[in-house]
Every structure is written in structure tokens, then in C-alpha cells.
Amino acid sequence: MRTPQIATLLASVALLALTGCTSEPESDAEPTPVATTPTASPTTTGAADAAGVPPEPTGDKRVIYLATLNGIDPEIVNGNDDKAISRGRDQCAAMKDEKDPTKRVAQVEQRFIGPDHPNGFGPTKSALILATVQANICPTY
């Protein structure tokens, strides 16, 4: 009984994410070249790319990512935006080679923890966190 509910919930989140993405390609197109043009850190960027770590979300993507996580549960971000973004980027790197959705959700449950949730936020919230990470930080994974 929970599997259909989770699948419906994930489908809803995916649709919302796609709806949000359709209005942003122009804003996403501008920050990306700016982030890759500095010559001070090409090796750092290359190493991160090789490890599967995507760049930090900027602008609207950052705002939407953090707002969505806060909407799922305020304790996920818990006032530390940079940590929530770092965990999302780490999740992207971890799931680059992991294609099993169940294992991806389990990774999120281990990675995203909080003071009142030291063992994660449970499979339902973790699935929502995963959808948020994928939609806003690494949509091609």
C-alpha cells in the first residue's frame, strides 16, 4: 500500500520540479558560463566533475532547492544553507553510479540527518529530498 503512495508522491514532485524547470532555462543558462569561465580553479572544477560532483546551484535554483527542502521538513536545512547544498552535491556524486532508486533513497536517509532525526527522515521524506536534489542540482543523473 505504501509503494503506490510513494510512487504517486514522487511523480507529483517530479511534475512540480519539471514545471519549475520549464520557466528557468534562460536563468540557468547565464550562471553556468560565468561559473566555468574563471581561470583560477580549472583543476578543482575538473576534479569535481570527474568525481561526479555538480556545481553548486545558484540564483533561482538555489532558492527553489532550499525552499523545497524547508517545505519537506525545516530540520533538513536547519538554518545551514551551505550544508544542505553540500549534502545535495554529495548525494549527486553518490548516485552517479547508483541507478537503483531504493538504494538512492537509502543513501539520502543516511546523508540527510538532523538533530531530531539522527537516522534520517524516513523513506517518504528521503524520496522527496532525493527528487529535490535531482531536480535542482543534478537533473541528468
Instruction: Give residue-wise pLDDT tens across range 81-103.
Output: 999 999 999 999 999 889 999 99
Task: Measure the CA–CA gap between 100 and 29, rounded to whole angstroms.
Answer: 30
Check residue 52 and give its pLDDT.
73
Check residue 48 and give its pLDDT.
54
Q: Are the CB atoms for 92 and 49 separated by under 8 Å? A: no
Check residue 49 and give its pLDDT.
59
- Model confidence, pTM: 0.67
Check residue 28 and give its pLDDT.
43
* Model confidence band, residue 121 (pLDDT cutoffs 50, 70, 90): very high
**Which residue type does 81 have?**
D
Instruction: Please say whether the dihedral angle defined by the alpha carbons of residues 67, 69, 74 and 75, taken in this order, is positive or negative.
Output: negative
Domain boundaries, the chain: 2-25+56-136
Tens of pLDDT, residue by residue over 22-75, are: 444 444 444 433 333 333 333 344 555 556 789 999 999 999 999 999 999 999
Beta bridge partners of residue 114, listed in sequence order: 117
Task: Measure the CA–CA gap between 138 and 91, rounded to whole angstroms.
Answer: 9
- CA end-to-end span of the chain: 28
